[in-house]
Structure 1
Amino acid sequence: MLDTHGRKYVQPIIERAADGLLKLGLTANQVTIIGFGVGGLSGLFIYFDHPVIAVFLLWLSGFLDAVDGSMARKTKPSAWGTLLDVGFDRLVEIGVILGLAFRFPNSMWALLLLSVSIIYAMTVFLTVGALSEKKGIKSFYYQAGLAERTEGFILFTLMIVISDYLTLLTLLFLFVEVFTTGQRLLEARKLLRQADNI
């Protein structure tokens, strides 16, 4: 929801960062890899009980994830870049969940359920993107929903910083994921039926 409706407010900052990194000679794919490296460290810092550093690295990786897309659109977007971007996003999320699970094993069952919901949510999201003839500013159709990347980062941040309530916050995240998947399935049913009738 925030990515869809709030992006226009932060886009000028993202554009300036993209221009600056292009002037430095970096490519979009290189920034994608840097963002993955930064985000991947977040899970380690969670495990070693450095929540502030973990949250900073998580949000920096998210910012670089937005910047690399703008860089690609300013140069030449590629299918390989899209694959790297989507795959590395999931690996960063997996790293955060694993860091939390190993740091707080009593909440592992809830984190496992959250992981399952994310896997299914992304399956729906990517399948609809692949099957839909609609295109957005990304390389595929981007379905809006209650939980987009920013909402996920906000919930991850709460889970990292307020770890005394980790299980409760994880279940809240799970509910948000399930609700969003339901939204996207309802939209997909309508969208893909229209496509089948054409």
Structure 2
Amino acid sequence: MLDTHGRAAVQPIISKTAHYLLKIGLSANQVTYIAFFIGIIASILVYFGYPVIGVAVLWFSGFLDAVDGSMARKSKSSSWGTVLDVTFDRVVEAGILIALALRHPDPHVLMLFLLLAISIIFTMTIFLTVGALSEKESYKSFYYQPGLAERTEGFILFSLLVLFQSHLVFWTIIFIAVEITTGIQRLLEARRIFKS
């Protein structure tokens, strides 16, 4: 939702950063790799008990993740870059969940993390399938389905999990509910797209 409706507010900063990184000779794929490694560092920081720094690093990784897409659109984009981008996003998210699971090995928490992972898989499966099958155009390299939880909402919810670990169960349940709602939204939109 925030990505779809709020992108215009931050796009000038993203575009200027993309322009600068292209000017100094970096490619979009190189920035994708950098964003990925920074995202993994965020998970390591969370695991070792540095939640605030971990969240800050996670958001920096997310910013670079937005920048690499802008760089690709300003230069020569590639399907391989899209594959890397989407795959690395999921690995970074999994890293945060693994770090939290290792810090909170309570069976109830682990079960909720499993349900959260399943809800993310459910939502992303619909998102990627519709993107692959739809002929609609978007500013990305495939049709970007809007929904309640997009990348920014995911970062907000992961941040809440990390920063408020004493309320981990509550925030995980909220996250699961948001993901399932998003998946249902996207499923209903897919039904409209492919029936028309």
TM-score, length of structure 2 as denominator length: 0.98
> Which sections of structure 1, spanning at least 5 residues, go unmatched?
none
Structure 1 residue 76, shift from structure 2 partner: 0.9
1:90-109 pair list within 5 angstroms: 90-106=90-106, 107-109=109-111
Q: Does 10-19 or 39-48 show the bigger shift?
A: 39-48
Q: Quote the residue 2:127 is aligned against.
A: 125
Following TM superposition, by how much is the alpha carbon of 1:120 offset from its aligned partner in structure 2, in angstroms? Answer: 1.2
Q: Give distance in 1, aligned partners of 2:6 and 2:93.
A: 21
Structure 1 letter corresponding to 2:54: A
In structure 2, the residue matched to 1:16 is: 16
State the shift of 1:144 in Å. 0.2
Who is 1:43 aligned against? 43
User: What aligned pairs does 1:30-109 form with structure 2 within 5 A after superposition?
Assistant: 30-106=30-106, 107-109=109-111
Give 1:46 deviation, angstroms: 1.0
d(CA) in 1 for partners of 2:121 and 2:186?
A: 14
Given residue 76 of structure 1, which amino acid in structure 2 is its aligned partner? K
SS class of match (1:26): coil
Deviation at 1:82, TM superposition (A): 0.4
Which of 127, 136, 151 is the equivalent residue of 1:134?
A: 136
1:76-126 CA distances to partner (integer Å, 9 max, x unpaired)? Answer: 110000000000000000000101111111221111110011011111000
Structure 2: gaps of 5 or more residues: none
Alpha-carbon deviation of 1:45? 1.1
* TM-score for both structures, normalised by structure 1: 0.97
- Measure the CA separation in 2 of the matches of 1:146 and 1:165: 22
In 2, the alpha carbon distance for the partners of 1:55 and 1:113 equals 22
Q: What residue number does 1:110 align with?
A: 112
Distance 1:24 1:111 in 2: 41
Moved over 6 A (4+): none
SS class of match (1:141): coil
User: Displacement of 1:52 after TM fit?
Assistant: 1.2
- Rounded Cα–Cα distance in structure 1 between residues aligned with 2:118 and 2:143: 23
* 1:114-193 → structure 2 map (5 Å cutoff): 114-193=116-195
The C-alpha deviation readout for 1:122-141, integer Å capped at 9, x for no partner, is 11000000010111011110
Q: May I ask how many residue pairs the two structures share in their alignment?
A: 194
Looking at structure 2, the residues matched to 20 and 104 of structure 1 have their Cα atoms a distance apart, in angstroms, of: 41
In 1, distance between residues paired with 2:60 and 2:147? 23
Displacement, 1:44?
1.1
Give secondary structure in 2 for the equivalent of 1:147: coil
Aligned equivalents of 1:37 and 1:98: distance in 2? 16
Find the aligned partners of 2:105 and 2:161 in 1 and give their Cα distance.
Answer: 14
